[in-house]
Chain A
Amino acid sequence: MKFLVVDDSATMRRIIINSLQRIGFSDCVEAGDGAEALSRFDDSIGFVITDWNMPNLGGLELVRSIRARPDGAGVPIIMVTTRSVREDIMAAAQAGVNNYIVKPFTPQVLKEKIDTVLAAAGSV
């Protein structure tokens, strides 16, 4: 399964990709903002992990854009962000994210949320 990791922090992208590789997901592509992520998104992408606050198209807008595409309607999306106000989390849920991780997170939390999303999608 190919993961698309989106975050304007190179450090965060590296941490997320290392964590994914550790739990067995080694096929990853990355993007530094929402616009770049959209340009890299295609039907080979099986899972999206995205930040919220980014230049050139933020995470929420990215999620909405992916969900508006025929090849993006069913792709699992997890948002990984510092935003933790209830209204923001609700907005992310309404935009179409499947789960939500608050930074800073542990690799165990990342694995748990991915497992939960994949189980719900019937892929596990």
Chain B
Amino acid sequence: MGPKHGGAERVSRDMLQESEDTLRRADSLLGELRATACPGDGAHAASLVDYLRRHGGAPLPLTLMRAYAEITSALEALRRYRGALERTTLERVHRTRDKLREVSSATEVAATSLLDGLDRAVSLVDRLDDIGSSDGRTDDGAATSVRAQLRDQLFELMSCMQFQDITSQQLQHAASVLAEVEQRLIGVAALFDATASADAHSGEAAASATFDPAASLFEADTRQAVADDIFTGR
């Protein structure tokens, strides 16, 4: 992990630590306030009035002001780090989504190249068949059989390229999960700053209609059997 990532980790840790410390101090002050305002009899209002009469009200506002100051300080710290949250965490989510798109695109390019190669190989086998049948020699059954098997193998390899479509859907599903995480992070950041820009959103909502979240390369026979059961009974 490089310095940039290490720095982001430190910012997040510092933010959390400072927030926890401040909230503990605020809770302590509020506890102090409760103890002075409610000396055990549970009647909050009556105890508070009695306290004010006995003490002229001076310590209570001071305690409240101290609590308010601590809470304000905590909120200010959280607002300061909202920017860091947006810059570091959201950036990393964006980068990860970009990487997923890059992988999906790369597999499509690779699959297309493989299919091109297989098409060329099939064409060569077809030419061998033509040569075998046109050179006037006695039909060589063994050679014909081998060419047929080679053709079968090549078509089977073509069929294997289906992995690209299925893995692409799986990557789209992963990207949609990241988009949801991104939205939630933006929501958290907005809690710390009510004036946070409305356009600070990821923008790219997952188009769930274009992928199947359950797409899988495995157990196709079992899943096909479910479909066969339904259509055979029709």
Contacts and interface: CB of A to CB of B under 8 A. Distances in A.
A19 interface: yes
B37 to A, nearest CB: 59
A86 B229 CA distance: 10
A22 B220 contact: no
B224 interface: yes
A109 B224 contact: yes
Contacts, number: 104
A104 B166 contact: yes
Contact of A107 (B155, B210, B227): B155
Chain A's interface size range is 35 or more
> Chain B interface mostly helix, strand, loop or mixed?
helix
A79 B204 CA distance: 29
B223 A102 contact: yes
Contacts of B102: none
Contact of B159 (A53, A58, A89, A104): A104
Interface of A: 7-12, 14-15, 18-19, 22, 52-55, 58, 81-86, 89-90, 93, 98-107, 109
Interface of B: 108, 111-112, 115, 119, 155-156, 158-166, 168-169, 207, 209-212, 214-217, 220, 223-224, 226-227, 230-231, 234
